[in-house]
A and B are shown apart, each in its own frame.
Chain A
Amino acid sequence: MLELRLVQGSLLKKVLEAIKDLVTDANFDCSATGFSLQAMDSSHVALVALLLRSEGFEHYRCDRNISMGMNLNNMSKMLKCAGNDDIITIKGDDGSDTITFMFESPTQDKIADFEMKLMDIDSEHLGIPEAEYHAIVRMPSAEFSRICKDLSSIGDTVVISVTKEGVKFSTRGDIGAANIVLRQNTTVDKPEEATIIEMNEPVSLTFALRYMNSFTKATPLSSMVTISLSSELPVVVEYKIAEMGYVRFYLAPKIEEDEDETKP
């Protein structure tokens, strides 16, 4: 028996919007601690890890650990039927091959039930070790999204370099090159506009912008994004989900050699 009641239903909608482009099918794992998902994109270059802690739900009941395979596009279709202010309740029975999404309007005058078929997904769960990152950049998520979008109009890859000067996003393409440098900036009125750079060691890594751009689909979830870089690890792009968890995207770097070859 599973019953998860999420008052801020829009969160779930946003989560789905954030990951459905990257991953089509995934197993949602439900345990006493929370509702989570880990999935790789089809090319195994990027990985999504989602956690919604049980405390974040108004009501959380999960009798036993359960893994439910869902097609994220289908799930997103159903969640789109929920209003932004709706309360979403996820219900499932043991042994059932369906899951039910119940949407209650804030005024309780409309209740909708959507039942979705589950699927068997053979997924691989990866162990993600805790790591010390060479550099951690916290910046406004909208800014990051903008940078990725802008750069992808010029090149296919972005080089993210963190030095004591700041963080530099650069790309190069047929029509030219672009460099965007952000400096640490903590003297802002609102904390969500700050750019905070913690650097232990300078680091510079190359990533495919295509993936970065799909990560930024999570921008509505959080006003801040945290980018953690280490030279021998995938970058982590993390969006915190208010009080209850996170969406983390891991992206394997491109191996740099001669940059020019990747640029058509």
Chain B
Amino acid sequence: MSRIETLGLLEEIQALISDKLQVVSYKWLSRNFLVSSNVAKRLLQEFVENHGNDTEVVYSLSGWLKKNPSSYHVRLVSRSMLAEAKGDFDDNCSVQVYSVQACIPKDPAALWNTEFVQAEELFKQPSAVNNCLRDNRFCGISNSFVKRNAEQAPLSIAAPQSKSAGSAGLDKSNILHKNIAVSPPQQTKVQKASPTVSMQSSKSERNSTGTNSHASKPPVDKEIIPPVTANGNKRQNGKSSSEGGGSLANLWDRASAKSKPNCAPAENNKLSLNTTVSAEAQIRAREEIEGMSSDDDGQNANVKRASNGEGGRKRRVVFDYSDEEDEYGGAVNLASPDPPKGKLSPDSKQRTETLLLEKKNLIFDKQKEPEPEVKEVKAAKIETQPPKEELSVVSKGMKPKMASLEKIQRSNLEKDANKEDSVTNAAPTSPKRRKVLKTRIDERGREVTEVVWEGEETEIKKADSHSTEIAERNAATNIVNRPLVAKKTRAVGNTALTNATGKAVNRKAGNKDPKQGNILSFFKQV
């Protein structure tokens, strides 16, 4: 990058900050001006040196924490907190400018808001276009997990991944890496150090929250939101997935509870399992979102739902961060509208905990195996578009139970994978998946938070209600899930205006009425 260009950019940054009041982060800078992330960081550094006095700076500190056991940590701090935060780190921590802005935003989400919008736009570009998000060309990290390929993942990953390609096999995860890669490896523990809380959340968390601010906020705000809005929102989140054959399901989904039983057979005739599934997924998703809003214990709902993903395919990204963090993230539900932002990726630890990472990688591979089918289906329907996904944070308190829960899911998933692929291929719609964050303590005593991708396929059943019943029964018989059953529905209420054609139907239909208040929003647990 020549000096002259640099100067031009600096002026532009100045203009962006002072005129448009935009938060200029190195990521945004890198993508916007097509410079590498390192150059972007240097630019920001330079900018801060020149104009530092009239702008607010957010630094990203990364390094090992002093406290025992020391962990790798990335923290965003404002300038005033910098010295203090440095004290928490080992001597040789890296200090980089993360972003410059006119003032420190109250809502930390604002920090990555523009980035997010940008990434979203990049992601929406037609698949033929090879943009910097896709080929990951500005990534500052280079290793086997970070691929700089421009392949169109949804189409290309149909073949099972080789082990080492593992985590990077999906275009999405590439992007993930890309997005995060620029900064040094992620921390494992993030503390909520007093006042800087808003600033210093780990990157991964910021991402997720950012996502949230875009996607799930609207539904979270109130249960009042009419179904249309909710759906609209969903659809837009899932950009693509619902546009194909799924749209019909969405319509039905939106229709009043009454119509559901009628449409179910139609769906089944077409063997369009996925339509059903996606409709249901939406219900659940909404339920989830609303549940989170009305209730702090919403995590449980997610757990349950996780377990509900009978035959769900899931892919999972593993990364670590502390659970204090979770509290923060857990308070809100995160619906990540598009994969590039779902960049809670494993690279966080790659330098620091290679071993562990490798282990995780294995998991990756294992889990991804069912994935290709999903993708295929989608590819057939909606080319290149990302799957819809809901990202929900399941915060701490999951304990080892989660581990076993996951095991169960995994086995479910494997079982069902075979059963399903024949049908999914014929299915007219793309599967819905969502991410669930799970925290558990691993065998080395560390806290591992994983983002689990969950599919929402259910078994193929003749009647819609039937399948729901089965799902419920499964959930009920599953001992681990069992206690959670009760909690799960604490989402917003279900009016179930339908004439009862069986509990399952009712319940499901009920979930669809966003106007029905939930008793849990009035009475708190004792």
- A126 / chain B contacts, CB cutoff of 8 Å: 519-520, 523-526
With A208-B516, A255-B515, A257-B226 as contacts: A44 and B522 at CB distance below 8 Å: no
| Residue from the set A45, A122, A129, A157 with the largest chain B CB neighbour count within 10 Å | A45
Q: Beyond A122-B483, A255-B517, is A45–B493 a contact (Cβ under 8 Å)?
A: yes
Q: Which residues of B contact A123 (CB under 8 A)?
A: 486
Beta-carbon contacts under 8 Å, B487-504 to A: 487, 489-491, 493-498, 500, 503
Does B258 make an interface contact (CB < 8 A)? yes
User: How long is the Cα–Cα vector from A264 to B498 in the complex, in angstroms?
Assistant: 10
A233 at the interface (CB under 8 A from B): yes
Task: With A122-B486, A157-B495, A234-B519 given, name 20 new contacts (CB 8 A).
Answer: A40-B519, A40-B520, A43-B493, A43-B496, A43-B510, A44-B491, A126-B523, A126-B524, A156-B497, A157-B497, A210-B495, A234-B517, A234-B523, A252-B517, A255-B223, A261-B227, A262-B497, A262-B515, A264-B258, A264-B259
Is A81 in contact with chain B by the CB < 8 A criterion?
A: no
Is B486 a contact partner of A127 (Cβ separation < 8 A)?
no
Q: B519 to A44, Cβ gap below 8 A?
A: yes
B507 at the interface (CB under 8 A from A): yes
Chain B nearest Cβ from A122, distance in angstroms: 4
Judged by a CB distance under 8 angstroms, whether B142 is at the interface is no
Residues of B within 8 A of A254 (CB): 495, 513, 515-517
Which B residues touch A233, using CB under 8 A?
Answer: 522
Cβ–Cβ < 8 Å partners of B494 in chain A: 43-45
Q: How far is the CA of A256 from the CA of B514 in the complex (A)?
A: 11
Interface pair A45/B497, CB less than 8 Å apart: no
Q: 14 interchain pairs (CB within 8 A)?
A: A44-B489, A44-B493, A44-B520, A122-B486, A125-B525, A126-B523, A128-B523, A209-B497, A210-B495, A252-B522, A254-B516, A262-B495, A263-B256, A264-B259
Return the chain B residue nearest A264 by Cβ: B256
A260 to chain B, nearest CB (A): 11
Q: How far is the CA of A263 from the CA of B483 in the complex (A)?
A: 35
Chain A residue with the shortest CB-CB distance to B514: A255
Q: Which B residues are in CB contact (< 8 Å) with A262? A: 256, 495, 497, 513, 515
A125-B515 contact given A210-B497, A264-B258, CB 8 Å threshold = no
Q: Complex Cα distance A156/B498, Å? A: 8
Least distance between A58 CB and chain B CB atoms (Å): 31
Q: Which residue of A lies closest to B495 (CB)?
A: A208
> A124 interface residue, CB < 8 Å from B?
yes
Task: Find the residue from B259, B495, B496, B511 having the highest chain A CB count within 10 A.
Answer: B495
Q: Are A127 and B496 in contact (CB under 8 A)?
A: no
Cβ contacts under 8 Å, A257 to chain B: 224, 226, 515
Question: Do B521 and A252 have beta carbons less than 8 Å apart?
Answer: yes
Q: Which residue of B lies closest to A125 (CB)?
A: B526
What is the chain A residue whose CB lies nearest that of B509? A43
Give Cα distance in the complex from A156 to B500, angstroms.
12
- Tell me the chain A residues, 10-49 only, with Cβ under 8 Å from chain B: 40, 42-47
Which residues of A sit under 8 angstroms from B493, Cβ to Cβ? Answer: 43-45, 252
Chain A residue at minimum C-beta to C-beta distance from B494: A43
**Interface size of A by Cβ–Cβ distance < 8 Å?**
36
B461 interface hit (Cβ, 8 Å): no
For residue A253, which residues in chain B have a CB less than 8 angstroms away from its CB? 517
Does any Cβ of B come within 8 Å of A121's Cβ? yes
* Count: A-B pairs, CB below 8 Å: 124
- In the complex, what residue of chain A is closest to B256 when comparing beta carbons? A264
Shortest Cβ distance from B206 into chain A, in angstroms? 32
Does B518 make an interface contact (CB < 8 A)? yes
Q: How many residues of B contact A (CB 8 A)?
A: 43
Cα of A158 to Cα of B522 in the assembled complex, Å: 20
With most chain B CB atoms within 10 A of its CB, the pick from A123, A157, A208, A209 is A208
In the complex, what distance in Å separates the CA atom of A62 from the CA atom of B524?
Answer: 28
B482 within 8 A of A: yes
On chain B, the residues within 8 Å of A60 by CB distance are: none
Task: Determine the chain A residues whose CB is within 8 A of the CB of B259 once the complex forms.
Answer: 264
For the complex formed, measure the closest distance between the CB of B248 and the CB atoms of chain A, giving whole angstroms. 18
Chain B residues near A251 (CB, 8 Å)?
519
Contacts of A208 in B (CB 8 A): 495-497, 513, 516
From residue B386, how far is it (CB to closest CB) to chain A in Å? Answer: 31
In the assembled complex, the CB of B332 is this many whole angstroms from the nearest CB of chain A, namely 20
With beta carbons under 8 angstroms apart, the residue of B222, B483, B511, B523 that contacts A43 is: B511
Residues of B within 8 A of A255 (CB): 222-224, 515-517
The residue in B226, B487, B494, B516 that gathers the most chain A C-beta atoms within 10 A of its C-beta is B516
Instruction: Point out the residues of chain B lying under 8 angstroms from A258, CB to CB.
Output: 226
Residue of A whose beta carbon sits closest to that of B224: A255
**Which residues of A in the span 117-159 have a Cβ within 8 Å of any Cβ on B?**
121-129, 156-157
- Are B495's CB and A45's CB within 8 A? yes
Q: Please name all residues of chain B whose beta carbon is closer than 8 Å to the beta carbon of A101 when the two chains form the complex.
A: none
Q: Within the complex, what minimum Cβ distance (angstroms) separates B116 from chain A?
A: 30
Whether A250 sits at the interface, judged by CB under 8 Å, is yes
What is the bound-complex CA distance between A258 and B519, given in angstroms? 21
Whole-angstrom distance between the Cβ of B134 and the nearest chain A Cβ: 41
Closest A residue to B228 using CB positions: A261
A208 and chain B: residue at smallest CB distance: B495
Chain A residues, CB < 8 A from B510: 43, 45
When chains A and B are docked, how far (Å) is the Cα of A126 from the Cα of B496?
Answer: 22
A105 to B122, CA, bound (A): 79
Select A252's contact among B487, B491, B516, beta carbons within 8 Å.
B516
C-beta contact mask, B246-275 vs A, less than 8 Å → 1, else 0?
000000000111110000000000000000
Residue of B nearest to A47 (CB): B519
Query: A residues within 8 A CB of B520?
Result: 40, 44, 126
Q: Chain B's nearest CB lies how many Å from the CB of A121? A: 7
- Whole-angstrom distance between the alpha carbons of A44 and B521 in the complex? 10
In contact, A124 and B497 (Cβ under 8 angstroms): no
